[in-house]
Amino acid sequence: MAPAPPRHLLLLLPLLLLAAAPAGADDLVAELQSLRARSPSGVIHLTDTSVTRFLSAPASRRPYSVLLFFDAAALHSKPDLHLPQLRTEFALLAASFHDRNPGSGDLFFADIEFAESQHSFHQFGVNSLPHVRLIRPEHSTLAGSEQMDQSHFGRLADSMAEFVESRTGLEVGPIVRPPLLSRNQIILLGILFLISIPFAIKRVIEGETLLHDRRVWMAGALFVYFFSVSGGMYGIIRHTPMFLTDRSDPDKLVFFYQGSGMQLGAEGFAVGFLYTLVGLMIAGVTHLLVKVESLQTQRFAMMAVIAIGWWAVRKVIFLDNWKTGYSIHTFWPSSWRIWNHPH
């Protein structure tokens, strides 16, 4: 007959069985809340192991939703993906939700990094970034979770909040963004401003400020003109990239996109440069060249201006036709046509 086990092992047996049992719903929620409390932004960092624990559990033990941001540190240097900016906006979204719903166990925000969690990327079927998934209790598989559409990245955290509210029924509230300047910085700037007031008044009286320098006004006018004709404001409003990566060759950059549905920043700056170049040449002819006494110099400069101007206008017309298909036709006055005159 085998000897009976020691008494202290019998006492520890229930505890060992409890530890080996799968965690219940309340335990998972409490653990996620603890991880969220340790994160400065409220975004929980997940790995392959924690994805299995928190997201692969049955729905009966997963009464919460998780909004998961997929990240890849190796791609942060690619400007067309905007991953660092989107990750920052995702953190603002999480912080705004937690401010409005403190202690909530219904929705958690998390991120995952490709280099350390490639298995999870494969399970979700993620093959391109940016990528955000909403895993709800009714999702039985990770691949069956709901992907955030690319349109919800357009207005950053604000459009992400609309996606969360429409899918979960939870209210995110207004996105709380940190101020541009801290309280101490504002106080320091205020002190410097007060100190500079007497010196500024003295320079204004003597007419020695930048506002009295016509070169500053001229440079400002040129900047406004270039910014206007190059579509700079359009790029800021639409968040258009300066260039794209060629899909067929990732090492090649695309600066000009054929098609009227999209405009890259490089396109606008190129056309704006040509417009500004022609404008500067016309200004030089009308204000500077007329003061030159040498007739030969005037003629040579005019020929150069005409040649460069013809080249610049031809380039603009060519780019417009290549991008939109619109072409400019030459029309001669009917009075110039010899065959219209009676013989």
The answer to whether the CB of 120 falls within 8 A of the CB of 45 is no
What is the pLDDT at residue 8? Answer: 47
What is the pLDDT at residue 110? Answer: 94
pLDDT digits (tens, 9 = 90+) for 238-279: 777 777 777 677 677 778 777 766 678 888 888 889 988 998
Burial class (CB in 10 A: 0-12, 13-18, 19+), 309: middle
Tokens of 326: 């619109």
3-state DSSP call for residue 329? coil
What is the pLDDT at residue 69? Answer: 95
What is the pLDDT at residue 255? Answer: 80
The domain ranges of the chain are 25-168, 179-207, 213-324
Cis peptide leading into residue 130 (ω within 30°): yes
Q: Distances in Å between the alpha carbon of 245 and those of 50, 241, 250, 322?
A: 34, 10, 6, 20
Mean pLDDT of the chain: 82
Q: pLDDT tens digits, the chain, 343 residues: what are they?
A: 445 555 544 444 443 433 444 556 778 888 999 999 998 888 999 999 999 888 887 767 788 999 999 999 989 888 888 899 999 999 999 999 988 888 888 899 999 999 999 999 999 998 889 899 999 888 888 888 999 887 777 778 888 888 899 888 888 888 888 777 778 888 998 999 899 888 888 877 877 777 777 888 888 888 888 888 888 887 777 777 777 777 677 677 778 777 766 678 888 888 889 988 998 999 899 888 888 888 899 999 999 999 999 999 888 888 888 887 777 776 777 776 655 555 4
What is the pLDDT at residue 70? Answer: 94
What is the pLDDT at residue 113? Answer: 94
Looking at domain 25-168, its CATH class is: alpha beta
pTM flag (> 0.75)? no
Secondary structure percentages of the chain, helix, strand, coil, to 5: 55, 10, 35
Separation of alpha carbons 252 and 108, rounded Å = 39
What is the pLDDT at residue 261? Answer: 66
Q: Distances in Å between the alpha carbon of 241 and those of 79, 80, 130, 155?
A: 8, 6, 15, 15
What is the pLDDT at residue 46? Answer: 93
What is the pLDDT at residue 219? Answer: 87
